[in-house]
Amino acid sequence: MHQLTIAEIIRGLRDRQFSSVEITSHLLERIQQLDSHYNSFITVTGEQALQQAAAADARLAQGDAPALCGVPIAHKDIFCTTGVRTSCGSKMLDNFVPPYDATVVDNFLHAGAVSLGKTNMDEFAMGSSNESSFYGAVKNPWDPERIPGGSSGGSAAAVAAQLVPGTTASDTGGSIRQPAAMTGTTGLKPTYGRVSRWGMIAFASSLDQGGPIARSAEDAALMLSVMAGPDKKDSTCLDRPTQDYSAHLNDSIAGLKIGVPAEYFGKGLDPEVGARVQEALKAYQKLGAELVEISLPHSKLAVPAYYVIAPAEASANLSRFDGVRYGYRCENPADLRDLYMRSRGEGFGEEVKRRILVGSYALSAGYYDAYYNKAQQVRRLIKQDFVDAFQKVDVIMGPTAPNPAFKLGEKNADPVAMYLEDIYTIATNLAGLPGMSLPCGFAHGLPVGLQIIGNYLDEARMLNVAHQYQLATDWHQQTAPVTTPAAQ
Ligand SMILES: NC(=O)C[C@H](N)C(=O)O
């Protein structure tokens, strides 16, 4: 049953081939048997899941089943869940049990989905390898000696290991797409503001966006249809009606204009990864698409601009974790200053502290114009590159990440090497555009991701373009060898 996609589960449940309790129990058992090898879950909510599944079965029997009724999913541990610890991968929130649900969580509850628990992630979503989690690194199901990507590494690994057919995730600079690429899964970061951020713990508020990771574009469309939509509780959430993202999956893509940016195929790209992406582009030509060479001239400025803007916003967002209101509090503080200093010093990990320091520096008087303002100006130029490109093309394609999954520990000593993992994904966040990653083959025996960047609010087309490729190829159906993971 664990091989089934969300679309297949929906059909199976409605045709009474199995019940939600049956598939939920099966996946919970699988998590129990296998996840010690991957560490993709921080919290498994077995009892609650079985209750939700039983309720879903009752609704299915009555014939009033909403879209995802009885379908098991899991949430990245960045989304607040009533009564269930929401740690954001940090010691700081190890004891945080929210009294409310994030809008995304609520949307899935309304759609009848069953949540199996909360998935592992880099601490406060800062990282590209899922090694900065307080709960330990996540292992890539394709090779447990390698990273699954980050920050949504747990969400991606859980789907790749077939512990759950779909997960929620979030993407600030690549955190949905890069782990999807590393694990051979399909991930989608929507247009900024398409999915509510209410109850999704903030990292960099002008960049953060929730989205799904699943096994196919068809499943990602089903999940996005549930996740997306206006939300009065989030003023940055777009006030546009949501769409049925499955409606256009089968449209022909003959005549589609695909922009291929020269900048995404230069130095730093693993040649094997580049070759797989070129093959995917050829497959699109066979489907009737036309390749158009484009240029995104400010691409090389995306990583430096992001690593000023994101830490600046993070330093402000994370100031709320002070040991006073909620979260970690140090033992026996001598006075208020000691309480602040030790609670934050002991509660946050290395990478989070690095970002708070960088961000506070960039925002400080005297440096604000030189760094933060400058980065915002660069951001504008990057956005304009895309606006110009979309005058000529319908979608843009390139690699998701410059290399396949690397070894655990390989880039830990070099933050800049880690930051360069997002070299092809970050610009999309700075511009607020939607992007996807889908599997397009293997390099050095590991999955490679093809990135599709869409125009603003063009998620339906992006999904159509991805689905047509997945009808013609079977890369997304290849599964990780769930056999003898390396000893811990
Ligand atoms: N959150 C993200 O999108 C991940 C990005 N690699 C970062 O560390 O900021």
Instruction: State the pairing for strand pair 41-44/114-119.
Output: antiparallel
So what's the ipTM on this one?
0.97
189 backbone dihedrals φ, ψ, rounded to 5°: -100, 115
Active-site position among 19, 40, 129, 151: 151
Short-list 440, 464, 395, CA closest to 221: 464
CA–centroid distance, residue 458 to ligand 1 (Å): 23
**pLDDT of 134:** 98
Amino acid at 421: E
Q: Show Cβ contacts of residue 445 under 8 Å, excluding neighbours closer than 6 positions.
A: 142, 143
Give the residue whose CA is nearest to atom 5 of ligand 1: 173
**pLDDT of 488:** 36
Q: Is 40 a catalytic residue?
A: no
The three state secondary structure string of 131-152 is: CCCCCCCCCECCECCECCCCCC
- Is residue 278 over pLDDT 50? yes
6-25 CB burial, b ≥16 within 10 A, e <16: bbbbbebbeeeeebbbbbbb
Q: Which of 197, 400, 422, 425 to mutate to test the pocket of ligand 1 (most atoms within 8 A of CB)?
A: 422
CA–centroid distance, residue 176 to ligand 1 (Å): 9
- Is residue 485 over pLDDT 50? no
Tens digits of residue pLDDT in 206-226: 999 999 999 999 999 999 999
CA–centroid distance, residue 307 to ligand 1 (Å): 10
Which residue(s) pair with 84 in the sheet?
81
**pLDDT of 243:** 86
**pLDDT of 483:** 53
Tens digits of residue pLDDT in 314-357: 999 999 999 999 999 999 999 999 999 999 999 999 999 999 99
Short-list 471, 301, 468, 275, CA closest to 382: 301
CA–centroid distance, residue 126 to ligand 1 (Å): 5
Tens digits of residue pLDDT in 159-197: 999 999 999 999 999 999 999 999 999 999 999 999 999
Residues 476 and 467: their CA atoms lie apart, in Å, by 10
111: left (phi over 0), alpha (psi -120 to 50) or beta: alpha
Q: Which residues line ligand 1 (CB under 6 A)?
A: 125-128, 151, 171-175, 203, 310, 422
Using the atom order of ligand 1, give the atom closest to the CA of residue 207: 3
Using the atom order of ligand 1, give the atom closest to the CA of residue 306: 9
Contact 116, 73 (CB under 8 A): yes
CA–centroid distance, residue 174 to ligand 1 (Å): 6
Using the atom order of ligand 1, give the atom closest to the CA of residue 429: 3
Q: Which of 76, 88, 120, 122 to mutate to test the pocket of ligand 1 (most atoms within 8 A of CB)?
A: 122
Q: Show Cβ contacts of residue 172 under 8 Å, excluding neighbours closer than 6 positions.
A: 125, 151, 203, 204, 207, 208, 209, 310, 429
Long-range own/partner contacts, residues 21-24 (CB < 8 A, 24 or more apart): 21/50, 21/53, 21/54, 21/57, 23/53, 23/70, 23/72, 24/49, 24/50, 24/52, 24/53, 24/70, 24/72, 24/114, 24/116
**Surface-to-core class of residue 475, CB atoms within 10 Å of its CB (0-12 exposed, 13-18 middle, 19+ buried):** buried
Contact 7, 218 (CB under 8 A): yes
Active-site position among 87, 115, 128, 175: 175
Q: Is 76 a catalytic residue?
A: yes
**pLDDT of 365:** 85
Q: Whose structure tokens read 């005549």?
A: 255
* pTM (whole model) above 0.95: yes
Q: Is 151 a catalytic residue?
A: yes
Residues 470 and 149: their CA atoms lie apart, in Å, by 22
Average pLDDT, the chain: 96
**pLDDT of 398:** 98
Using the atom order of ligand 1, give the atom closest to the CA of residue 351: 8
User: What three-state secondary structure class fits 200?
Assistant: strand
Residues 76 and 96: their CA atoms lie apart, in Å, by 15
Tens digits of residue pLDDT in 35-57: 999 999 999 999 999 999 999 99
- Is residue 487 over pLDDT 50? no
Give the residue whose CA is nearest to atom 9 of ligand 1: 126
